[in-house]
Amino acid sequence: MFSGIIADVGLIKRAEDREGGLRLTVEAETMDMGDVRMGDSIAVNGVCLTVVGLQGRAFTVDVSRETLDCTVGLEHQGRHVNLEKALRLSDRLGGHLVSGHVDGVGEVVAFNDIGESWRLVVRAPHGLAKYIAVKGSITINGVSLTVNLVAGSEFEVNLIPHTLEVTTLNELEAGAKVNLEIDLIARYVERMMQKEVQ
């Protein structure tokens, strides 16, 4: 589990084809890697991945074809990515509970400066739109954010300057694709409200 509070912006140093998937080497810039061990989980742009190699400030992960098919942003060598280590029971939960399992890929409709913050409008895949609610939580490329407005399949969030300084969201522009994870609670509520499972 994660919180959606980004610890660092890393760099994909290498992306190698591996049996239909990819083996990525990601270099952290400031994140403490001293407590990271083989088998630990690190969210990379909101995707929970397992550490299979460590070397200094860099770590290696394998990404399956299935994961690549339902996410965006992991296949490009030289790309900056948001990083977060998995939560420990003693950690503060500053964002919201995030699984690191991307639900779908959204598209940036608008991203503009509105003075004290930036307004980001994203179009979600049709099947995910029903789970997005005003004042609910959403994860965009691993960043925990609060939804301010929903209109059909589009939703709006505000980004404060600090968020733009410490994440890759400052690189977004209209037409960009982003990883989306809806609030876990929405999925469980829907499941509980369904009639008895057949």
My answer on whether 24 and 61 are in the same domain is yes
Q: Is residue 198 part of a domain?
A: no
32 vs 84: CA distance, rounded Å: 11
pLDDT at 69: 95
Q: Which residue, 151, 138, 154, is CA-closest to 186?
A: 138
pLDDT at 186: 77
Q: Is residue 93 part of a domain?
A: no
Q: Is residue 134 part of a domain?
A: yes
pLDDT at 195: 65
pLDDT at 198: 56
pLDDT at 143: 98
Q: Is residue 151 part of a domain?
A: yes
Provide block-wise average pLDDT over 10 residues at a time, the chain (198 residues): 96 94 97 96 98 97 96 95 92 87 97 96 95 95 97 97 97 98 82 67
Tell me the CATH number at 53.
2.40.30.20
pLDDT at 196: 58
pLDDT at 170: 97
